[in-house]
Amino acid sequence: MRVIRETPATTEPEPRLRWRVAQRRVVCSGDWSVARLAAVERQIRRNVPRTSGEWRINLDEISTLDTAGAVMVQWLCRRLRAAGATVRLEDVSAERNAVLKLAASELGTAPPRPRSNPLEQLGRKITSGCLGITEYLAFIGRLTADSLPRMLRPHRLRWHEIAVELERAGVMAIPIIGLLAFLIGIVMAYQSGDILQTYGANVFLVDLLGVIILREMGPLMTSVIVAGRTGASYTAQIGTMQLTEEIDALRTMGITPFEMLVLPKFLALLIALPLLTVWADAMGLLGGMLVSSLLYGLSFEVFLQRLPTVVPPNMLWVGIAKAPVFAALIASIGCYQGFRVRHSADEVGRYTTISVVQGIFWVIVADAVFSILLFSWLGL
């Protein structure tokens, strides 16, 4: 019985090749099993002499010959033949012969997968990039077509799934979003308070924090966190279900995955993100207030009294109104990327990354559009 490979205590000798050039013989010896063949392979590659005539290969001293070893013996034969010799294996046992034959007849190579040239790849990238948008739109279309009938009859919505998603995307995100909003409130108050103080304009800290947090930072930061948390999980879940054919199983039952998987996620996020935004607004203001009162002499009372007078309520509404739009972007992109998974676990990782990056990207683009539209047209 063989002793464990790769452990130093092995009793079998190293695999070796000895060239008896004068006798035109190659003597192979030792353990020709797969884990130890690298040295032999190097010798075969480097040391085959330019020669002609008949060479004999002796395998008697080989203690173990597995299929990889047999492949190496055949390589040796092939090299010698390529160098101009004819080769004969010296009396080999029947068992070994069977293995050697197996290795010898192996020459039918697979046709390589056609490789595309760089130009073609570029073309494919561009077309798939363009088609990606139409595919996404098609996805939205199908989602709408499947969801509308349900939406019109709310009692047929999957309220249970919606509640589950609401808990995962909303309730469970409360601590992290609260904490981060609080910290950002602190940082912003601290950084801008310093500057305002030099002008003795401490009290404007309220204006500054109110506008920035309620209008921009609240919704934007919440969306970014939700895109990383929830958008990614949507993609990973749907992608894995694609791989395990669970999506197909749903289809065969006459249940469309859109209605079963996407719609609850979509609706849940549509509800959760505005609420989380309000939460983030509150925690951000709290952080700002804390710094204002501790460092810049603005008590809570002063802060809270001034806030409604300098920040019009529609500033708050603008912030909250953006949230459902961001939610729609994050949920649809997350689910869409999940459905793009087809074959492999790699793709789950890849599309999850894409989902997060695109989610954040489009949220920021939408935010910019909002700012311009609202500010320049409606004067908000």
CB of 89 to another protein, least distance (A): 18
Does position 198 interact with another protein (CB under 8 A)? The reply is: no
Does position 91 interact with another protein (CB under 8 A)? The reply is: no
Token pair for residue 178?
């609260």
Q: Of these, 50, 153, 160, 343, which contacts another protein (CB under 8 A)?
A: 343
CB of 87 to another protein, least distance (A): 18
CB of 8 to another protein, least distance (A): 9
Task: For residue 16, list its beta bridge partners.
Answer: 29
Q: Between residues 124 and 342, which has the closer beta carbon with respect to another protein?
A: 342
Q: Of these, 12, 41, 146, 216, which contacts another protein (CB under 8 A)?
A: 41
CB of 240 to another protein, least distance (A): 11
Q: Between residues 35 and 140, which has the closer beta carbon with respect to another protein?
A: 35
The identity of residue 145, as a single letter, is A
Q: Between residues 1 and 133, which has the closer beta carbon with respect to another protein?
A: 1
Q: Of these, 21, 35, 195, 294, which contacts another protein (CB under 8 A)?
A: 35
Q: Between residues 28 and 298, which has the closer beta carbon with respect to another protein?
A: 28
Q: Of these, 342, 353, 369, 375, which contacts another protein (CB under 8 A)?
A: 342
Does position 243 interact with another protein (CB under 8 A)? The reply is: yes
Does position 11 interact with another protein (CB under 8 A)? The reply is: no
Does position 113 interact with another protein (CB under 8 A)? The reply is: yes
Does position 12 interact with another protein (CB under 8 A)? The reply is: no
Q: Mark the segment that binds another protein (CB under 8 A) among 109-117, 152-160, 182-190, 359-367.
A: 109-117
Q: Of these, 11, 46, 91, 112, which contacts another protein (CB under 8 A)?
A: 112
Give the closest residue to 319 by CA, choosing from 352, 287, 276: 276
Written in H, E and C, the secondary structure of the chain is CCCCCCCCCCCCCCCEEEEECCCCEEEEEEEECHHHCHHHHHHHHHHCCCCCEEEEEEEEEEEEECHHHHHHHHHHHHHHHHCCEEEEECCCCHHHHHHHHHHHCCCCCCCCCCCCCHHHHHHHHHHHHHHHHHHHHHHHHHHHHHHHHHHHCHHHCCHHHHHHHHHHHCHHHHHHHHHHHHHHHHHHHHHHHHHHHHCCCCCHHHHHHHHHHHHHHHHHHHHHHHHHHHHHHHHHHHHHHHHCCHHHHHHHCCCCHHHHHHHHHHHHHHHHHHHHHHHHHHHHHHHHHHHHHHHCCCCHHHHHHHHHHHCCHHHHHHHHHHHHHHHHHHHHHHHHHHHCCCCCHHHHHHHHHHHHHHHHHHHHHHHHHHHHHHHHHHCC
What residues numbered 265-324 form the site for another protein, per CB under 8 A? none
Q: Of these, 19, 75, 204, 296, which contacts another protein (CB under 8 A)?
A: 75
What residues numbered 15-34 form the site for another protein, per CB under 8 A? 33-34
Does position 196 interact with another protein (CB under 8 A)? The reply is: no
Contacts with another protein by CB under 8 A lie at: 1-2, 4-7, 33-35, 37-38, 41, 45, 66-68, 71-72, 75, 95, 98-99, 102-103, 106, 108-113, 243, 342-347
